[in-house]
Copies of this chain bind each other. A is one copy, B any other.
Amino acid sequence: MRRTSFKDIRAEIERRISMRLWRPGEIIPGEEALAAEFGAARATVNRALQELARAGLVERKRKSGTRVALHPVREARFVIPLVRAEIEASGMAYAYRLISREERPVPEAVAARLGIAAGAAGLHVACLHAADGRPYQYEDRWINLDTVPAAGGERFDAVGPNEWLVANAPFSQARFGFAAAIATPVEARMLGLEPGAAVFVAERVTWLSGRSITLVRMVHPPSHTMVMDM
């Protein structure tokens, strides 16, 4: 017979909570008691409980003990995808096409998002990512050349700006926005959609030490679903 694993213990505690043997707000037995009950070391019980606490199912406090969470504050983690990796991970062939690349002053609206002065040196790149030959994402990006001057030397005709930035301009902060929108005429054409189609739009601004790096708008056909687990 196998020794009791922390996973077994975690599962059993989950079960008791789900069966309401232990109700929200209620204190559950201490680590010592559980260890005795399960015939395991306290460290093993501790690991199970720590994972449940991280998941938000229980709340732990020294001296008070462990209680079933009343209002589980849940956090989900989601991985920031690299388009190419995302496509290849699902077994499809990735293709990249540069649509346009132009160095020009940053327009007002973009400057505001980047927190810089309108007219600052910017690089605008538009490109298309395809999966198995079908348009997957249309990318419209502004890069702040004051922060990332090296980008000015890149043509982005073979490698997309996303991949280049990942390798060359680490960021410390990011803000994402997700929304639904009606495709603009350009977006509809690029993605091969009817005019007026609904598209999934993800926007992201990234910074390094308070200086903005890039603003990107990623547009997906309506068939696209962004999935995250927790």
Q: Which positions in A face B, CB cutoff 8 Å?
A: 11, 14-15, 17-18, 24, 52, 55-57, 68-80, 82, 85, 147, 166-182, 196, 198-201, 208-209, 211, 220, 222, 224-230
Contact = CB atoms under 8 A, between A and B. Distances in A.
Contacts of A227: 175-178
A204 B224 CA distance: 16
Contacts of A170: 17-18, 24, 57, 68-69, 72
A162 B69 CA distance: 16
B79 A211 contact: no
B201 A167 contact: no
Contact of A73 (B52, B69, B80): B80
Contacts of A147: 18
Nearest to A84: B71
Contact of A167 (B17, B70, B167): B70
Given A18-B208, A176-B228, A179-B180, 8 more contacts: A55-B172, A71-B85, A72-B170, A76-B77, A173-B229, A177-B227, A178-B227, A181-B198
